[in-house]
């Protein structure tokens, strides 16, 4: 939308009145923008808290029931909630590994429980076997730091 054009009045009193009238909405715009930014920050904090609680709830259900529980948080919800790591275990050799969810090539809207059939053990792949991984839980950090090279 094009900005409104207010022609400047010829008399000095009318120019002052117009400047005063135009100043009010400009001041109100600044106030409303600040309120919108504050509300957005509060909303993002609430969404982050909700995502964290969703990840913790899923971890508790995984611990209690075992197996990939449906529904699960999506990859972007887990990352936003502070749980960017997924602990998995090979169903064949029982090797445990941490997977960085941010590094996965799947869309961020992929549910975590859907990753169970897609993740494979790299150790067993060398022996020409491709067993599916068992999901253990979401984690805030990897169990052990990666070896530095």
pLDDT tops 50 at residue 95: yes
Cα angle at 102 between 59 and 63, to 5 degrees?
A: 10
User: What CA–CA distances, in Å, run from 110 to 30, 103, 136, 141?
Assistant: 39, 13, 17, 20
Return d(Cα 54, Cα 78) in angstroms, integer.
Answer: 8
What pLDDT score was predicted for residue 42?
Answer: 96
Share of the chain above pLDDT 70, in %: 87
> What pLDDT is recorded for position 148?
42
Residues 18-76: tens digit of each pLDDT: 778 878 888 888 999 999 999 999 999 999 999 999 999 999 988 888 766 788 899 99
> What integer pLDDT is reported at residue 143 of this predicted model?
73
Token pair 């969703």 in the structure block, residue: 54
Helix/strand/coil (H/E/C) assignment for every residue in the chain: CCCCCCCCCCCHHHHHHHHHHHHHHHHHHHHHHHHHHHHHHHHHHHHHHHHHHHHHHHHHHHHHHCCCCCCCCEHHHHHHCCCCEEEEEECCCCCEEEEEHHHCCCCCCCEHHHHHHCCECHHHHCCCCCCEEEEEEEECCCCCCCCCC
Would you say the pTM of this structure is higher than 0.85?
no
User: In the beta sheet, which residues pair with residue 100?
Assistant: 85
Are 55 and 83 contacting, i.e. CB atoms less than 8 angstroms apart?
Answer: yes
Distance CA 131, CA 109 (A): 24
- Give residue 24's pLDDT: 84
Give me the mean pLDDT over the 106-122 stretch.
85
């Amino acid at each position: 939308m094009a900005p409104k054009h207010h022609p400047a009045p010829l008399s000095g009193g009318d120019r002052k009145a117009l400047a005063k009238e135009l100043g009010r909405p400009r001041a109100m715009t600044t106030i409303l923008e600040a309120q919108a930014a504050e509300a957005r920050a509060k909303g993002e904090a609430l969404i982050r808290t909700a995502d964290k609680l969703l990840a913790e709830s899923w971890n508790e259900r995984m611990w209690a029931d075992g197996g990939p529980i449906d529904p699960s948080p999506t990859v972007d919800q887990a990352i936003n909630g502070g749980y960017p790591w997924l602990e998995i275990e090979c169903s064949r050799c029982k090797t445990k590994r941490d997977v960085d969810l941010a590094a996965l090539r799947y869309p961020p809207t992929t549910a975590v429980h859907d990753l169970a059939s897609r993740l494979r053990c790299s150790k067993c792949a060398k022996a020409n076997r491709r067993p599916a991984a068992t999901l253990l839980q979401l984690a805030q950090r990897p169990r052990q730091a990666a070896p530095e090279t």
